[in-house]
Amino acid sequence: QVQLVESGGGLVQPGGTLRLSCAASGRIFGIYAMGWYRQAPGKQRELVASIASGGTTNYADSVKGRFTISGDNAKNTVYLQMNGLKPDDTGVYYCNANVTAHTGTTVKRFDSWGQGTQVTVSS
């Protein structure tokens, strides 16, 4: 099993900053990529940013230039620095990890998800 523990969400005014963290633990043999998704009320979950194990990053067009994703491979942790926050950034942010891990009965590659952390941008 794999656990993803997220932290750093909260309420912030427009133009403000937040930093999200997500730490992966469990019987992990390898992490191929980690990322952040968000889901606003009434909308589908969407990719915000991702980072591959080699360091390649990918961002949604709506956050380019404002958000920065980074990772610490030694700690199995990914961060999302969010600057210049807008009300449209409001939503539940979910951490995702594409891993190879022991599931209890076998070893396989799969996606693991965190519980989500609320980000609210409002004056």
- Per-residue pLDDT tens for 15-64? 999 999 999 999 999 999 999 999 999 999 999 999 999 999 999 999 99
pLDDT at residue 88, as a whole number: 96
pLDDT at 103: 85
Please report which confidence band the pLDDT of residue 71 belongs to, taking 50, 70 and 90 as the band edges: very high
Is 1 a residue whose pLDDT tops 90?
A: no
> CA angle at residue 100 from 96 to 106, to 5 degrees?
125
pLDDT digits (tens, 9 = 90+) for 73-108: 999 999 999 999 999 999 999 999 999 999 888 999
What is the model's pLDDT at position 58?
Answer: 98
Contact between 48 and 59 under an 8 Å Cβ cutoff? The reply is yes
Report the C-alpha gap between 4 and 123 in whole angstroms: 30
**Both tokens assigned to 56:** 């390649």
